[in-house]
Structure 1
Amino acid sequence: MIATTTLVRGVFLLLGLVFTLLGFVGVFLPVMPTTPFLLVAAACFARSSTRLEAWLLAQPHFGPLLRNWRDHGAIPRYAKWLSLGGSSLGFGMFLLAGPSWILALVVGAGIAAAMVFVFSRPDV
């Protein structure tokens, strides 16, 4: 039983580190999201390392967003609009590649569903 608990904590720790790395890569690459990866990383650290969870939540740029999500399920209004703008820009660039209408419809529906979810969350 102890070995299983240690193994599970190790897996969550490894996943937290990987998602943190992906989140920080997303800061510099416009096609990679940042916050969703850091949200998953914080959840993984909550199950494996309270020290790393506290470090992530204390980050000046991302900590408040992560804490608002964890405590209230809330997204700041400016982040919602940035999300809509970035998704719209990305979808426009996708359309310039000339996808089939079915693929464009599926991708557009996925983006629309994501935006409905984002805008349904409470404001901070």
Structure 2
Amino acid sequence: MIVRTLSRYLCLAVAILSFGVGVVGIFVPLLPTTVFMLIAVWAASRSSPRFAIWLRDHPRFGPAILAWERERAIPRRAKILACLLLTASCGVIVLGDLVWWGKGLLFTGLVSIAAWIITRPTPRASSLLR
């Protein structure tokens, strides 16, 4: 009983923290929003069904969350924005003051993330409708 209650409160804290970081990500470049919203809805589903429903029904966050949950798909607009920001990050890394192998590792990681994002399917139009 105590473990279950503690687990619920921990998941609720993760949901609220992830939601907060996701909202900050709207305004701060290079901080992803969708990833944190997916974590928030996952944690909220285990702790606060009302919060999870609110996230799924939200006009800004809901369509991306539903597309991921239903099809493991990423909307085209999110793919483009993510790749543009990853490209900007690569530019900052190249211009930054870091050892060459560190730049190479970071650059390779960011390019790998971009490739993974690009290879995810785009949601069918029917999945974006509720």
In the superposition, the TM-score normalised over structure 2's length comes to: 0.89
Counterparts of 1:7-86 in structure 2 under 5 Å?
Answer: 7-86=6-85
Q: Report the AA paired with residue 3 of structure 1.
A: I
Corresponding letter in the other structure for 2:22:
G
Match of 2:126 in 1: none
Q: 1:31 to 1:77 in 2, by over 3 A?
A: closer
Runs of 5+ consecutive residues of structure 2 not aligned to the other structure: 124-130
Give the CA RMSD over aligned residues.
Answer: 1.1
1:91 Cα shift?
1.4
4+ residue runs over 4 A deviation: none
SS at match of 1:55: helix
Equivalent position SS for 2:31: coil
Once the two structures are TM-superposed, the CA of residue 101 in structure 1 deviates from its matched residue by 1.0
Secondary structure at 1:115 match in 2: helix
Distance 1:119 1:31, change over 3 A: closer
Q: C-alpha distance in 1, partners of 2:77/2:15?
A: 27
Greater alpha carbon shift after TM alignment, 37-46 vs 73-82: 73-82
Distance 2:80 2:29 in 1: 16
How far apart, in 2, do the equivalents of 1:80 and 1:32 lie? 14
- Alpha-carbon distance in structure 1 between the residues aligned to 2:11 and 2:19: 12
Q: Structure 1: which 5+ runs fail to align?
A: none
| Equivalent residue letter for 2:67 | N
CA distance in 2: counterparts of 1:107 and 1:56, whole angstroms: 32
Instruction: State how far apart, in whole Å, the 1-side matches of 2:121 and 2:87 are.
Output: 21
Query: Post-superposition shift, 1:78?
Result: 2.4
Question: Aligned pair count?
Answer: 123
Aligned to 2:93: 94
Q: Distance in 2 between the 1:75 and 1:35 partners?
A: 10
Give the drift of 1:52. 0.3
